[in-house]
Structure 1
Amino acid sequence: MGRPLPYGAAGVERQPEGVVRTPDASLAEAQQLLDAGMPFHAHEVFEDAWKSAAGPERALWKGLAQLAVGVTHAARGNRRGAVSLLRRAAEVIAAAEGNPPYGIDVAGLARWARGFADELAAAPEGGPAPAASPRLRG
């Protein structure tokens, strides 16, 4: 999940950073990582897109990165952090509703992030976090 491991411990390799991808490649790779239960790695893909984007798209990529980090926090058991990031991501993503690029389901993602945040906020402490894999495109 992207958490630090002790030196020498077996784990999943980090996602390479600073990779410039097309928006379609970023979305496809991030969706694959989300579906595989690797939201932190999806965050890295979104972060690369965010850092290389310009204009209004930059904020959308940042919101998608926040969404993936929110899912990461939920998977790690940090519900408070997850709820906060998911709600922030929903607001940032929803701002792109007027002109969603690349077939991104902006309205659906904002709704999903709010719903997942509400589900986490209402869940009993100490219980397992629900599985989460948002659909990036409609």
Structure 2
Amino acid sequence: MNLVDDPRFSQALELFNSGAWYEAHDAFEELWHEQMDPERKLLQAIVQIAVAHVHLERGNTRGCTILLGEGLGRLKPSLPVALGLDLTALQSVVSDRLSALQSGQDPEVFPPPRLLPVT
């Protein structure tokens, strides 16, 4: 089955987009185990971004910073679009949040990342 057609994928997207970071991480990780590259690397990037936000919720800004950076690195090869998602928009928000963390600012001044369909 195509990943985009898998009902678990749409459920994982909903969890991510609602800010249910831990649950999104679990949902995407389950799919990640079943994929081959390049989808595998992209899902790993999404998992890392979700886990970064779990760290942020728990006050672990260092862990968040590290995982956002790793997630961005894995996201780049899939830009600008993959799996019907606007990855450039995701990259922009995650980059803004990472820059805020690196400069000691509150990343929450920027909107949370979302996995939006290509329009």
TM (norm. structure 1) is 0.70
1:130 counterpart = 2:108? yes
**How far 1:22 sits from its partner (Å)?**
4.1
d(CA) in 2 for partners of 1:86, 1:93: 10
* Number of aligned positions between the proteins: 115
Give the partner amino acid of 1:83.
Answer: T
Q: Secondary structure of 1:95's partner?
A: helix
Aligned with residue 62 of structure 1, among 39, 44, 48: 44
d(CA) in 2 for partners of 1:119, 1:69: 18
The alignment's C-alpha RMSD in Å is 2.5
TM (norm. structure 2) is 0.80
**How far 1:47 sits from its partner (Å)?**
0.6
**Mind listing any 5+ residue stretches in structure 1 that lack a counterpart?**
1-19
Residues 11-32 of structure 1 show CA distances to partners (whole Å, capped at 9, x for unaligned) of xxxxxxxxx9943534432332
Residues 86-109 of structure 1 show CA distances to partners (whole Å, capped at 9, x for unaligned) of 0110111111116x3221111221
Cα gap change, 1:61 to 1:81, in 2 (>3 Å): same
Judge conservation of contact 2:45–2:72 (CA < 8 Å) in 1.
yes
**Mind listing any 5+ residue stretches in structure 2 that lack a counterpart?**
none
Judge conservation of contact 1:43–1:65 (CA < 8 Å) in 2.
yes
Judge conservation of contact 1:33–1:42 (CA < 8 Å) in 2.
yes
Which has the higher Rg, Structure 1 or Structure 2?
1
Give the partner amino acid of 1:58.
Answer: R
User: Matched residues, percent identical?
Assistant: 27
1:102 counterpart = 2:83? yes
